[in-house]
Amino acid sequence: MNALNRVLMVLILLVALVLCSVVLIFPVPVLDAVAKQSADLVGLLNSLEWYVRLGVGVILALAVDAFLVFLIVLEVRRPSRKAIRVEKAAGGEVLIGVASIADRIRYEVDQLPGVLRTKPKVSGKRSGVVVELDVEGATTINVPEEAEQIVRVVQQAVEDDMGLKLARVPKVNLRVLPYPKTPKPPAGPGDLPRAEPEVVAPAEPEEVPLAPPEAWFPDESGDDLPDVPEDFGEAQ
């Protein structure tokens, strides 16, 4: 808002500088031109119907009023503090950034069992520090005990460890992960699918090749018989 104020003030001063210089140097021509333009504008408005003039005037008035109210709200509203003074510091003035406070709270809360993710929001007011946390917890946590433990850890980190003052009790938005979906068991044995018996085809017998008839009996000539030594009978 400070930057916007500076820009608007510079523009207004530049326009006022030009207008004042022109009016003071050439007052008669400027006033004649303004009177002529005013007369032309009055003639244009008189040519319109009264309800058209009324509708256009209401719309323009609402637009200008809304813009001016918006500027007033921005000017009156106090910007959030980016640093907060430590009240327990002695011998000087110590300021801690809001981002540092949020990092400390995130670190302390993430150490708790069952906490999966922490997103703190810290803002400073005259009465102290305002803390709001978005915490994501595991499925099996005890919600009341976990929330109480988170609040206690935040109070200890902000007030005892950092020397600040809480404006009100920390607000914890605790979100628990949903239970995993499990398939439903069958209602009864009749719902189980029956396994069809597997049909095994009989194995075909292997064909064993038969030897030719000549191989069944030895040759009559005795060529296929083994040779007998001549002294076989004498040796006996």
Residues of the chain with CATH 3.30.300.30: 83-176
User: Residue 158 burial (CB < 10 Å; 0-12/13-18/19+)?
Assistant: buried
Query: What are the structure tokens assigned to 48, written together?
Result: 């319109």
Query: What are the structure tokens assigned to 179, written together?
Result: 């239970």
pLDDT class of 159 with cuts at 50, 70, 90: confident
**Exposed e or buried b per residue across 171-196, where buried means at least 16 C-beta atoms within 10 angstroms of its C-beta:** ebebebeeeeeeeeeeeeeeeeeeee
pLDDT tens-digit profile of 196-225?
Answer: 666 566 656 666 555 555 555 555 554 554
Query: What are the structure tokens assigned to 191, written together?
Result: 């719902």
Q: What are phi and psi of 221, to 5 degrees?
A: -70, -15
Cα separation, 103 vs 105, in Å, equals 5
The predicted structure's pLDDT at residue 2 = 66
User: Is the CB of residue 165 less than 8 Å from the CB of residue 87?
Assistant: yes
* Secondary structure of residue 136 in the 3-state scheme: strand
- Fold type of domain 83-176: GMP Synthetase; Chain A, domain 3 (3.30.300)
User: Residue 135 burial (CB < 10 Å; 0-12/13-18/19+)?
Assistant: buried
The helix-helix angle for 98-110 and 143-155 (nearest 10°) equals 140
Which residues are CB-contacts of 79 (< 8 A; sequence separation ≥ 6)? 1
Q: Is a pLDDT exceeding 70 seen at residue 186?
A: no
What average pLDDT score do residues 123-152 get?
A: 86
pLDDT class of 8 with cuts at 50, 70, 90: confident
- Residue 227 burial (CB count, 10 A): 6
Can you give the length of the chain in residues? 236
pLDDT class of 66 with cuts at 50, 70, 90: very high
Give the Å distances, CA to CA, from 33 to 23, 79, 136, 163, 198: 11, 45, 69, 67, 107
Q: Is a pLDDT exceeding 70 seen at residue 81?
A: no
Q: What are phi and psi of 171, to 5 degrees?
A: -100, 125
The predicted structure's pLDDT at residue 63 = 93
